[in-house]
Amino acid sequence: MRYENELPRVDVFVCTADPAIEPPIMVINTVLSVLAYNYPPEKLSVYLSDDAGSELTFYALLEASRFAKHWLPYCKKFNVEPRSPAAYFASLSVSDQSDADFSEMKRLYEEMANKIDVVCKAGTVSEQAKLEYKGFSKWNSYSSKKNHAAILQILNDSRDEETKDIDWVRLPTLVYVAREKHPEHFHNFKAGAMNALLRVSSEISNAPVILNVDCDMYSNNSNAIQDALCFFMDEERSREIAFVQFPQSFGNATKNEVYGSLRVIDEVEFHGADGYGGPLYTGTGCFHRRDTLYGREYSTEARIDLKRACPEKMEENVHKLEERLERLASSTYDQNTQWGNEIGLKYGCPVEDVLTGLTIKCKGWRSVYYRPERNAFVGVTATTLDQILVQHKRWSEGDLMILFSKYSPVWYGLGKLNPGLVLGYLIYCLWSPNCWATLYYSIVPSFCLLKGIPLFPQVSSKWFLPFAYVIIAELIYSFAEFLWSGGTILGWWNEQRIWLYKRTSSYMFAFLDTMLKLFGSSNTTFIVTPKVTNDDVLLRYKQEKMEFGSASPLLTILSILAMINLFCLMGLVKKLIFTRELGLEYIFETMALQILLCGILVFVNLPLYNALFFRQDTGKIPSSTAFQSVAFALSVCTCIAYM
- Point out the residues that are catalytic: 51, 353
User: What's the rounded Cα separation, in Å, for the pair 442 and 447?
Assistant: 9
Exposure letters 312-325 (e unless 16+ CB within 10 A, then b) = eeeeeeeeebbeeb
Question: Which residues, including other chains, have CB under 8 Å from residue 9's CB and lie 6 or more apart?
Answer: 43, 44, 45, 205, 206, 207, 208, 209, 308, 310
Asked if residue 406 lies in contact with residue 307, where contact means CB atoms within 8 angstroms, the answer is: no
Among residues 397, 423, 398, the alpha carbon closest in space to that of 507 is found at: 397
Q: What are the beta bridge partners of residue 20?
A: none
- Angle at alpha carbon of residue 129, lines to 124 and 132, rounded to 5°: 150
The upper half-sphere exposure of residue 639, i.e. CA atoms within 13 Å in the direction of its Cβ, equals 7
Q: Are 200 and 261 in contact (CB under 8 A)?
A: no
Q: Is 190 annotated as a binding residue?
A: yes
Question: Is 50 a known ligand-binding residue?
Answer: no
Nearest Cα residue to 39 out of 232, 286, 309, 225: 225
Number of other CB atoms surrounding residue 474 within 10 Å: 10
CA 233 to chain centroid, in Å, comes to 28
**Cis omega before residue 73 (within 30°)?**
no
DSSP state of 178: E
The answer to whether the annotation marks 51 as part of a ligand binding site is: yes
CB 9 within 8 A of CB 44: yes
Cα–Cα dist 82/70, whole Å? 16
Q: How many CB atoms lie within 10 A of CB 92?
A: 12
Measuring CA to CA, how many Å separate 545 from each of 379, 471, 492, 548?
21, 29, 16, 10
Sheet hosting strand 241-245, strand order edge to edge:
151-156, 173-178, 44-50, 10-16, 209-214, 286-289, 241-245, 366-369
DSSP states of 607-641: HHHHHHHT--STTSPPHHHHHHHHHHHHHHHHHHH
- CA-based angle 17:21:26, to the nearest 5? 85
The closest of 625, 641, 397, 638 to 514, measured between CA atoms, is: 397
Give 439's Cβ-side CA count (13 Å radius): 17
Q: Please give the C-alpha separations between residue 84 and each of 27, 87, 378, in angstroms, as whole numbers.
A: 10, 5, 10
Q: How far apart are CA 154 and CA 322, in angstroms?
A: 7
Q: Rounded CA gap, 570 and 578, in Å?
A: 11
216 is in an annotated binding site: no
Q: DSSP string of 578-603?
A: IS--S-HHHHHHHSHHHHHHHHHHHH
Helix (H) or strand (E) holding 65: helix 55-78
Q: Which amino acid is at 222?
A: S
Those residues with Cβ within 8 angstroms of residue 136's Cβ, 6 or more apart along the chain or in another chain: 55, 58, 59, 125, 129, 130
- Give the C-alpha distances (Å, rounded to integers) separating 152 from 11, 212, 430: 16, 19, 41
Contacts with 610 (C-beta within 8 Å, 6 or more apart), sequence order: none
CB of 233 within 8 A of CB of 306?
A: yes
Which residues does the annotation place in the binding site for Mn(2+)?
190, 214
Which residues does the annotation place in the binding site for UDP-alpha-D-glucose?
22, 51
